[in-house]
Structure 1
């Protein structure tokens, strides 16, 4: 387990991470970064070794930012631009390489800890808090667009033949930009960042149960991977679990508010469509 409690404010975290090639793939094209203040998962795609090179290139670019207490959104955007250039330089047999990216970055907003969430593609970022699992990120996928348009039902989405088709990526000929959300952090938050090898195999209610049952984040990440393998393991699978141990400014800002009111007030308009999918 990676213990990042020495990182200090604005969010002190404990982290666990695990990754597996899966039962049907020869190469693990997933890559992850689980060092404060960045907790990211990238799922590569492309011919031959292009996918794993693409995801590794993105993670390597962001690794230069490891070690600080927090990051500003401009730093994250600049790193993503550099990462995109590195990925676009990778090609195999004339096929463009690409990768998804999803996760959280510790941010400081007026002395208060926030999760700066970033997403491109269909890897996912969830928050588990007060017994509720909600998906923070919004999938950039054909199926998600059909869901938003009311053309496809939630029940049909899980088995739709287009469920693996994404509409944005880093590289792969995509010009799609990343989405960002500023999410107020609370002590006790548990963040799950994963590739679709987990979210595509394991139902959301099972993800919730495992996150609730496993206290240690490393144990939670390992068990989530095992669960994906039990459900078929048809893809590479990666999970990063991040626990908020302490949030700077939280008590100062909210110590007079009822617990139930704190989240409602804090969330506000920081996340478009928050809670529309993934609530369990």
Structure 2
């Protein structure tokens, strides 16, 4: 299956720097078919040099795609069924390897950004949400509150998990959805890359089919949109830009970024 992609990022109405960064990469591999990777990072607005953290992580993922992924694709051990796992596809084995490498990238970048911050007397950090689609399977990874959505014309599902104070309170039953929206702690993160002692990314995965879309977005985009608006507008021509203009009219002042991969 082929991919149609679109991306848009806006500094917003009040920020002097766009601390968001994003990346889309595509390739083709024998035995696996088309491959697409999307990465979106939101540098922490309350921390200095958030744009340094977000761009550094995106650049590291770009390097991974160019140098480490090709080595995985050439690893013949992946395509050989493991004992007792004959029902798992070669693509499934590949994505398991990718998950392991992405975890290492997150740990590496968390350590590097902490060292950079200590050496320069600053605190910097970034969220990340990423997706890789290989053949007919996908995997997402996230740290922080940047989100991934999987949707078609009929239904939408979030395929990421917010690492935020309000999400934690929601799950504990201590806060309602409405209280979470208006909470003065809605931007407080439980973990982010570069500003946490340790980071534990979360992964989601599944299969793809035609007419399916994946949206990766910063909180500047998703906070003021409902599911129907995402489903109806995001797949349109310049859909991410249209959604950005909508949330800006609704008073969003943060940096706003999104990317969509359509199958």
Q: Deviations over 1:13-55 (max 9, x none)?
A: 1111000000010100000111123201100126775100000
State whether structure 2 residue 114 is matched by structure 1 residue 88.
yes
Alignment match of 1:120 (pick from 135, 143, 162): 143
Give 1:25's aligned residue. 15
Alignment match of 1:35 (pick from 10, 25, 31): 25
User: Normalization by structure 2: what TM-score?
Assistant: 0.79
Runs (4+) of structure 1 moved beyond 4 Å? 46-49, 67-71
Kept in 2, the 8 Å contact 1:194–1:239? The answer is yes
- Higher-helix-fraction structure: 2
CA gap of 1:63–1:157, structure 2 versus 1, over 3 A, is same
CA gap of 1:174–1:225, structure 2 versus 1, over 3 A, is farther
**1:35-184 map, 5 Å:** 35-36=25-26, 37-45=36-44, 49-66=48-65, 72-91=98-117, 94-107=121-134, 113-184=136-207
**How far 1:187 moved relative to its partner?**
1.6
State whether structure 2 residue 260 is matched by structure 1 residue 241.
yes
Partner SS state of residue 179, structure 2: helix
CA gap of 1:160–1:153, structure 2 versus 1, over 3 A, is same
CA gap of 1:229–1:46, structure 2 versus 1, over 3 A, is closer
State whether structure 2 residue 258 is matched by structure 1 residue 232.
no
Partner SS state of residue 167, structure 1: coil
Alignment match of 1:198 (pick from 218, 221, 242): 221
Q: CA RMSD in A?
A: 2.2
CA gap of 1:141–1:205, structure 2 versus 1, over 3 A, is same
Tell me, in whole angstroms, the C-alpha distance in 2 between the residues paired with 1:65 and 1:85. 17
Partner SS state of residue 98, structure 1: coil
Partner SS state of residue 39, structure 1: strand
Tell me, in whole angstroms, the C-alpha distance in 2 between the residues paired with 1:96 and 1:15. 33
**How far 1:78 moved relative to its partner?**
2.8
Q: Number of residues paired by the alignment?
A: 226
| Unmatched runs of 5 consecutive residues or more in structure 2 | 27-35, 74-93
**How far 1:90 moved relative to its partner?**
2.9
Tell me, in whole angstroms, the C-alpha distance in 2 between the residues paired with 1:30 and 1:168. 17
Kept in 1, the 8 Å contact 2:47–2:123? The answer is no
Partner SS state of residue 22, structure 2: strand
Tell me, in whole angstroms, the C-alpha distance in 2 between the residues paired with 1:40 and 1:157. 26
Kept in 2, the 8 Å contact 1:58–1:84? The answer is no
Partner SS state of residue 3, structure 2: strand
